[in-house]
Every structure is written in C-alpha cells, then in structure tokens.
Chain A
C-alpha cells in the first residue's frame, strides 16, 4: 500500500512536469507565458508566483472539497484562488518591488490563469485525491510551468537582448545588436511555436517507440 502511494505521488509530480506540462502539452496559461518571458528572471518569477498559488489553492480546495457545495464550486474556487493571488501580490509588493513593477498587471492576472482553475476542477476537487496528492499535483504543475517559462525566457532573453539574467553572455557586441524582435510579443508567439513543435516532435518519437515495444 505504502509503496504504491509513493509511486503514484511521483507519477503525479512527473505528470505535471512532463506528460501534462501545462505550457507545452496542455497549452494553458499562454497569456502570462507570452507576456512575461521577455527575460529569464521575469518568466521564472512569474512561474514561481503561479506555483505558490497553484499549491496553495490545490491544498485549500482539497481540504474544503467536502464543504464546498457542488453547485457553487466554481465561485468558491475563484474566491480561494483570488485570495492566494492577492497574498502573492501584497508579498511581492512588500519584498520584491522591482519584480512587482516589471511583472505589473500580470500578477493579478494569475487569477485567470487556466492551469490553476483546471487543476482545482480536475484534481484537487475530486473526492479520490488526497490533500497530499493535490499538493504534489500543484507542485508538479508549478515546476512544469517554471521549466517551460524559464526555457522560453532564457531563449527570448538570449536572442532578443543578448543577455542571461542581465549579463551579456554573448558579448557586448551581440547585446548591442540583438534581435529585439524576439523580445517583442510577435517574437514570443514564434518562440512558443518553435518550442511546441519541438516538444510535439519529441513526444511523438517517444510514443512511437513505446508502441513499437508493445
């Protein structure tokens, strides 16, 4: 019993990071993804904030799932999620003012990030999933989101500004003549498309291998 539970928790976690990666597999929360990945630090901190809200709301909703009436579960979920987002917003404004300023309106917009409501609806609110499993699911999804946004943020900052975390790793010459296009919204769409294509290709290969084995 104990071993199966452990294995299932690990599976739940990996499910969020890879199999159902919110950005590249489920294609959820793309608004925040495109808007904040102009640099690594912005994308990374956006994903950290989202992860906090994900884990928090998953745990809270899982705890409350027997209390929340079925008919008003969506309003109840939204209240819980909005509360966590507001907490994140206040904490960021108090302790990380630079990040708060650079992320701007996208912090309150975490409320409408589909991943969070989707996980509440499809995982945390389900009777068969324990509180711990919900927390792990939130964490797994969050880590998946962090990986995806960091990857896109790194790519766009490197190509678009010639820097990583503000350091001109490609030399000052490149930084001065960087392809600013990739830091722009249109560049964000193209980057997103490139990554989606790559991941789809890789997963298609893996699926084909599995099928051959079977």
Chain B
C-alpha cells in the first residue's frame, strides 16, 4: 500500500513539473504563434495590398449580406500607423463550372489593388487559367475593369471574375468606410440605375452585354405576353454577338411572358444573356405598371340570362383573339351559390381561351355559370366579327 502511494505520488510530481514547464514555454510562444497564424491568414491579403501591416475583419458582416450576398467577408487594410489603405473582400461568384472564390483588394480611392482566385472548379486549360498570373495580374492597380482582356474560350469565367471585381469595387466604395462601425447601415435599394423607359405598351430596357450595353425595345400585349422585340446590339461582335439582335433569335420571345423559356445563343452567350436579361427587366417593368395599360385593350361587354336575372360580363381580348381578362356582374344570382360564377377562381379559367367552350360549368351553379359562358361566347363572336 505504502509502496503504491510512493509510486503514484512520484509520478504525479514528475507530471506536475512537466506541466509547469510546458505552461511556461507556452506562455512564451503562444503570442508568437498567434501572430504567426494571423500572418499566414493575411499572406493572401498582403499580396493584394502589400503595404498593409494588418487586416482587420469587418464588424457585423451580416449588415451587408442582404445587399451584397456575394461578399462573404471583408477586411480593412491598415498600415503600421493605423491609416486605412484599402479593403479586401472575399467574394463568391458563379463561374462556368461552379462557385469561384476570389480575394479582391480595393484601395480607399476606389482603385482595384488586385485579385486572386482562392478556389474554383472551372474547365482545366480554359477557365482555370483565370487563376494564373497572366490573367489575374491584369487586375493589379487599375481604376476599373474596362482594361481587362477576357480569355478566349473562357468568356463566362472571365466575365464572372470581372463582375465579381466590379461588385467588390462597388462594395468597397459604399461599405468600406463603415466596415468597422457596426452600427452604420447600408441603404437598401439596389445600386443599379433604373434605365427602363415605358411608353404605352413598349418598354425600353438595357443590360450589360459582352462589349457594351445592349438595348431592347419590347412591345407587350395587354395580357403581358410579348408582342414584338427589337434590340440594339451594335456594341457586340459582328457576326457573333450581333446574332442576338437578329429576327431569328428575337422572334422566339414573341408570345412569351418572360425570357426564361428561350435558350441563349451558342457562341454568343454573353450577348444573348444580356438580351434576355433586358427583356426580363422589361417584363417586370410592364407587369408592375401593367394595370393601366391593360385598360387600353379591346373590352367587350355582353350579358345573358342567369338563374334569377341578367348576368353581365366584361371580356378583354388580346390582339390574337384570346381572352386576356374577364370580370362578371353576377349580383342578381344567389349569394354563395350562383355568385361563385363571378369569382376570379372561375373566371380565371377563361383567360387564354378564344371562347368559353373549354371551361366547364360550375357544379351547384349551373345556371349562373352557363349564363357567364354564354355571355363570354357572345363577346368572343363580337370580337371576331370586328
């Protein structure tokens, strides 16, 4: 018993001395290791802004995520005497093959200090070249990205990177000065200017193409579908990007209510994407202000005998004879029963039809709904006769 007590006590003493010695060494080396780790983490950022002596992480980064979801982290670069030199942003963007993570430095005067790709999954030999000095050195100390040459065969990757750098520059200009001030907020409205012009049923919108701005004029039907599209693609490459402005391509949008159903043009991804983007913007704009313009369509009022009295319908037609909208006055019918034939649930079924035959009568409200259908058919006949 005594022997075991000696054994364990002595072993404990040895462990205690060892622990004390380690604690002492740790106290000496821990701060140095901490600095060392920070330096390693900052090495990438220092490549962008070499004069900076320290990088301070932004306070309350989530303030910016609503407006700039692509910017995942930001640092303020300060020199030895504490002056702010610029900012570095960790940005995630969508490339050709997947997410590209970039590290972008912007100086306080808005100059782009540099860009590095942290990780990517772009095509080897094409998009992957964005991570090579020949491409990323173009971003060193430039006022804006207009001087950057895109890589042949890797337009999507190049433009994703350029867009990310532009975004980081915008972010730095707006959010840079308030990075360390956790209480300051960014204004919520998007930074982009509203370039759209609405005149009657025609909306003019622009979007950034491959080499410049692409302008589209979209004329809408009253129901919000596209009646015709023209596009000004004069800034794009002749014979390549300019194909996105030709009738062959633009014709595909007619009858659609947005641009999503039309594919981009192979070989002219950027130009056609810009055209689509501008058309989508125009569609949104038209939909937002569409209430007033739909009144300009052809509306015909007709009536028919219902269950208890006369039912009146107002049918608005598209140019092609299909029904754009229907309202009905069924006030004479039985509340809760026949009057259901005047509700949007039922009337909505007629939209897009060219007559009422394709819609069933309402069970429990046969007379009222038959009257609605009859009135609509009369209106259709009258529209066709005009």
Q: CB-nearest residue of chain B relative to A75?
A: B11
Q: Which A residues lie within 8 Å of B28 (CB)?
A: 94
Q: CB-nearest residue of chain A relative to B20?
A: A83
CB-based contact A97/B29 at 8 Å: no
Q: Is the interface of B mostly helix, strand, loop or mixed?
A: helix
B36 on interface, CB distance cutoff 8 Å: yes
CB-based contact B10/A87 at 8 Å: no
B384 on interface, CB distance cutoff 8 Å: no
B7 on interface, CB distance cutoff 8 Å: yes
A68 on interface, CB distance cutoff 8 Å: yes
Q: Which B residues lie within 8 Å of A80 (CB)?
A: 14, 18
B6 on interface, CB distance cutoff 8 Å: yes
A68-91 interface code vs B (CB 8 A; 1 in, 0 out): 110110011001101100110011
B118 on interface, CB distance cutoff 8 Å: no
- Closest chain-B Cβ to A54's Cβ sits at a distance in Å of 17
CB-based contact B11/A72 at 8 Å: yes
* Contact count band on A: 20 to 34
CB-based contact B14/A64 at 8 Å: yes
Q: Complex Cα distance A75/B18, Å?
A: 13
- Closest chain-A Cβ to B298's Cβ sits at a distance in Å of 77
Given contacts A64-B14, A80-B14, A97-B36, contact A90 B25 (CB under 8 A): yes
Q: Which of B10, B30, B32, B33 contacts A69 (CB 8 A)?
A: B10
CB-based contact B33/A67 at 8 Å: no
Q: Which of A67, A71, A97 contacts B40 (CB 8 A)?
A: A97
Q: Which A residues lie within 8 Å of B184 (CB)?
A: none
Q: Which of B7, B15, B25, B40 contacts A87 (CB 8 A)?
A: B25
Q: Complex Cα distance A82/B13, Å?
A: 15
CB-based contact A68/B29 at 8 Å: no
- Closest chain-A Cβ to B10's Cβ sits at a distance in Å of 6
Q: Which A residues lie within 8 Å of B337 (CB)?
A: none
CB-based contact B21/A83 at 8 Å: yes
Q: Which B residues lie within 8 Å of A75 (CB)?
A: 11
- Closest chain-A Cβ to B44's Cβ sits at a distance in Å of 16
Q: Which A residues lie within 8 Å of B10 (CB)?
A: 67-69, 72, 76
B26 on interface, CB distance cutoff 8 Å: yes
Q: Which of A68, A76, A93 contacts B33 (CB 8 A)?
A: A93
B22 on interface, CB distance cutoff 8 Å: yes
- Closest chain-A Cβ to B331's Cβ sits at a distance in Å of 83
Q: Which A residues lie within 8 Å of B18 (CB)?
A: 79-80, 82-83
CB-based contact A79/B40 at 8 Å: no
17 A-B interface contacts by CB (under 8 A)? A64-B14, A68-B10, A72-B10, A76-B14, A79-B11, A80-B14, A82-B18, A86-B22, A87-B21, A90-B25, A91-B25, A93-B29, A93-B33, A93-B36, A94-B36, A97-B36, A97-B40
Q: Which residues of B contact A (CB under 8 A)?
A: 6-7, 10-11, 13-15, 18, 21-22, 25-26, 28-30, 32-33, 36, 40
4 A-B pairs besides A76-B14, A87-B25 with CB distance below 8 A are A83-B22, A90-B30, A90-B33, A93-B36
